[in-house]
Amino acid sequence: MKIFLIALLAFCLCTAAVFAQELSENRDPLLLNFGLRLLGADVGLGYIISDPNSGSPDTILWGIVGGGYEWVTFFRDLNDEQYDGTFPGYEPAIDPYYDRINARFDLGIAQGIVFNNRLKRNLLEAFLFYKIRYDFPIENTDLNQLFFDSTLEETSGLFQNSLLFGFSFNDLDARDPHGTKTGIYAEVSGEWGPEFLMNNLVGRADFIRVNFSSKGFLKLFDIAPEEKLNLLSGYFGAFLALDYCAGNVLPANIQQTLGGRSPRWGLGNAVRGYEDARFDGQFKAVLNLEFRLNIMQFDLFGLGANTPGIIVFFDSGYYDFMYYQDSGFLFSAGAGVFINLIGYTSLTFYTAFPLSKTLVTGDSWMPFVIGFDAHF
């Protein structure tokens, strides 16, 4: 099974990379985004309905479909307070965890306001998406799982609909063949999922969320910029996000994530070294600081350069449950290794040390984590 998954992953990466290279040579109106999950994927297909070669802002129609089998968490005890591993009758290493099948479909439009002639894409754009997701949690009746013992109205499943709208600024340049990045991406968005938008068919949802996310990169050095393949280069990156949600029925996926066009796990995970989504709630903030060192590239089978490297990071965050009257700061530090596969996606392995709180098991070290793509 593992060999099959690795072979399938390699095939998808190679196919997508070749296709992406063909698209980049001629400014084809067809756009493709492909993101991997551990057991799943998300595929975005965009089409520029305006003239892609006019030099004017693009109008892009987007469709995104995805899904997968997920191992997720829920750290809230039966008193609706943060689970810290001491609530009687529950095992901290087992009972906050459960399995879930997830599917999503997004349909939307992005309208350029200012065009970036250097990077041949929208510099400033407005976007509007209709988002559908379905979560099917899988209960293990042999365990006392916190999620299924909770008061959430989605323990039997959730069919969620919402509207996402906002603006983005994109001056991020990742074209360096040596794997460094420069520039800034910033996004401000609102997401509205009222109950009357078919959010009571399976489970219930009734929420609004606002989000600001930004990331920036600064190239520090490249010892051999004239070489075709990278020898040694480094760059600095930072990610900042602020997220607030409110409403009558807040689904777990809204409380546990940072929103926007590409939602990501909140605190932890966004602050590495803590359990995924352990510090859920209405307000979340995160700041990641990271140094990435790209070492000697290699090309296999002529498909493109693969870039191994080393990362060192310091993460910080703040959470406020508000309705739990609980809040706090999180800090962590760590390091790891990665390999960027043909300039398309990455496999990352890292270890992290939580600095402000221990894990619910009492441990003060998360020895090994694996993930697809860079942290931001």
Number of domains the chain contains: 1
Calculate the alpha carbon distances from 155 to 13, 96, 98, 149, 216 in Å.
Answer: 35, 14, 11, 8, 38
Domain assignment of residue 111, given as a range: 2-372
pLDDT digits (tens, 9 = 90+) for 235-249: 999 999 999 999 999
Closest CA to 235 of 275, 176, 192: 176
pLDDT value of residue 9: 42
Please tell me the pTM assigned to this model: 0.89
CB of 328 within 8 A of CB of 285?
no
Closest CA to 71 of 28, 34, 39, 33: 39
Distance CA 198, CA 302 (A): 49
Distance CA 262, CA 278 (A): 20
Distance CA 183, CA 180 (A): 11
Distance CA 215, CA 304 (A): 26
- Rounded (5°) CA angle 358-362-367: 75
* Residue 8, φ and ψ in degrees, nearest 5: -65, -40
Positions in the chain short of pLDDT 50: 1-24
CB of 139 within 8 A of CB of 152?
no
pLDDT value of residue 23: 38
CB of 237 within 8 A of CB of 376?
yes
Closest CA to 230 of 238, 219, 239: 219
Distance CA 274, CA 335 (A): 14
What's the alpha-carbon Rg for the chain, to the nearest Å? 21
pLDDT value of residue 102: 98
Q: Helix or strand or coil: residue 8?
A: helix
pLDDT value of residue 21: 41
CATH code, 50: 2.40.160
* Residue 141, φ and ψ in degrees, nearest 5: -70, -10
* Element holding 240 (H helix, E strand): strand 233-249
Using the 8-state DSSP alphabet, how is residue 325 labeled?
A: -
pLDDT digits (tens, 9 = 90+) for 28-68: 999 999 888 889 999 999 999 999 999 999 999 999 999 99
Using the 8-state DSSP alphabet, how is residue 82 labeled?
A: B
pLDDT value of residue 323: 65
DSSP lists the bridge partners of residue 163 as 130, 192
pLDDT digits (tens, 9 = 90+) for 311-354: 999 999 999 987 667 889 999 999 999 999 987 788 999 999 99
CB of 193 within 8 A of CB of 201?
no
